[in-house]
Structure 1
Amino acid sequence: MPERGGDGDLSVRFWGTRGSLPMPGPDTVVYGGNTCCVEVRLGTRLFIIDAGSGLEAAGRSLPGTARIDLLLSHLHHDHVSGLPFFSPILKEKGSLRIFCGNQGGASAKAALDSMFAPPLFPVTLDVLPGSIEHVGFRAGETLSFEDGVRVATCPLRHPGGATAYRFDHGGRRVCYVSDMEHLDAGPDLDVVNFCRGADLVIYDAMFTESELPRCRGWGHSTWNAGVELCRAAGARTLAAFHHHKGHDDAALAGIEASLAAALPGSFVAREGQTLVYRARQAAVAAAQEA
C-alpha cells in the first residue's frame, strides 16, 4: 500500500500521467501509459482531479460506498474517458460529484451526456447504479465544500478553456496546472500568483522546446516554461505532467535529468507515484488553537 498522510498532511498520488492518448506497452512502464488522473488528500479528505484512463485504477482502490468529489480541468477525451469505468459509480451505494469550470458556469452534464451515449458509447451514464451529481462554476472562483474545505481555481489558456486547482492544507500547497499554453513573453502573472509559494506544481509539460513551434495553439506547454513559472512564483518543485504520447521512458528519463538540474527536487511524474507533504507544525498549532 502507498504511504498515506496524517490528518494534517497533504498527499498526492498519480494514477494517470499521459496526455492525449493512453500508451500502454513495454516502453512506457516507468512513467506510465494512462491519461490524466491525480488523487489529492487533505488529511483523509479525498479529491480526484480529472477522469482520464487512470481513473479506472483509482476507482479500484476505493470502497464501493465512497462519495467522491471529481474536479475536471476540462472535457477533452483524455481527461474524461475513464468516467464510465469508475468502480464507485458501478455500485449502488457509490456517489460521484463532478465539478467543471470551463462551461461558462454550466455543469458538464450536457457535454458528458452527449459523449457517453450511442452511437459514441453503448450506454448512457444515467444507467449506472451509482449516483452522479453535476456542479458548474466559473474558473477563477473558489470552491467551498460542506466540511469547510476550500479549493482555489484559475482559468488557463487552452482551446475551450481549462481550470487549474490549488490545495492548501497543513501549511502546504499543491497546484494542478494542466492543460495550458504558456505566453511567449514569460509566465502568466495570474498563474504565477496562483502558484505562489507552492510546495509542488503539477504542470503541463507535453512538448519539448523543439516540438512546441509545430504545435502552437494546441494549448500545451514545456517543462522549461514550468521551471520559469516556479521560479517566478517561488514554488519549490515541479512535476512534469501530461506526457506526450511519443515520449517513451528513455525520452522522459532524459527530460527528468534536465529538469532536476534546472530546478532541484523536480521530477517527471510517474504513474503510481505517491508524495506526502507533512504538515508544518506552526500551521497545525494554529489550527488547534482556532
Structure 2
Amino acid sequence: MTADHRTDSGLPELGRTVQEFGDTPTEVRESTHYKHEYVQTFVDKWDELIDWRARYESEGRFFVEQLRRRGVRSVLDVATGTGFHSVRLLEEGFDTVVSADGSAEMLAKAFDNGMKFGGHILRVVQADWRWLNRDVHGEYDAIICLGNSFTHLFSERDRRKALAEFYAMLSHDGVLILDQRNYDAILDTGFSSTHRYYYCGDGVVAEPEYVDDGLARFRYRFSDGSEYHLNMFPLRKDYTRRLMHEVGFQRIETYGDFQSSYAEGEPDFFVHIAEKAYLEEALDGEVTA
C-alpha cells in the first residue's frame, strides 16, 4: 500500500487536518467531496465514534450469519472505513476479504487496525465505486457497503453506476448488503436516535445540523471539544430498494436495526440485502422491491 495517494489537485491526500466546505457548506453536494471531509484528524477519531467493542455486541452475528447462510466465501468490503467489518470477517474465517475505500486516510487506518486487531494484513485498494471494476479485480460472492456510506453519492446517475458496478462484480448467485440511516424518519418527523447500533461511542454526539430533501449535514462532536461535519444525501428506504431492483437485483429484504419486523419510524438504520440470483420465486413474480 502506497501512502502518496493524490487529490484531483495533485496534492498529497494523506495528513490533511482541516475539512473544506467553503463559505456555503449546505451547498456542497458532490459525490467526490467526501475526500475533503475525511481528514486525518477526523479519521483518527472515527474508532472513538464507532467503539468497536460496543458495535460488535450491538450487531451480534447478523452479517456473519446472513453471509454464511448464502454460502459466501469471498467478500469485497467496498466502504471499509477503519476496517471494522473486514477484520470481523477475517476473524470469522472467510476465505477472501478485500477492503476498498475512496479515502486514503481511511485505508491507512484500516491497515493499521488489521494489524492491531488480530495481526491481519488487510488487502486494501483505493477505489471509486463508479469505476470499481477498473480498480478492483476478481469476482466475489458478496459485496458489503456499510456504515451509511452509500449516502455519499449525491446524484442518481452516480448511485445507479455504483450499484451496476457492484452487480457486475458479484458471482451469479452473489449478494449485496447495503445499509443506510433511516432518513425517512429524519425527513418526515425529525431526528432521534437510540445509539444502540453503529455509532456506539460514549461521549460522542452525531446529529443532523441541517436537513432538506437533497442534503443531510451531520455534525460530530467529540469529548475533547473537536467538531467535524459530513454532507450526505438523505436516501429514502423505498427509493434505495427501487434502484437496486432496477439495476437487476432480484430479491431484496430490508431489516430495521437488524430486525425483520419493525415500525417504519423506529429503526435508526435500515439494512438492505439484495440477491443477484434469478430465483424461482423471483421468476414467478414474488420479487420484493
Normalised to the residue count of structure 1, the TM-score between the two structures is 0.39
Query: Relative contact order (C-alpha < 8 Å, sep 6+): which is higher?
Result: 1
Structure number having the greater helix percentage:
2
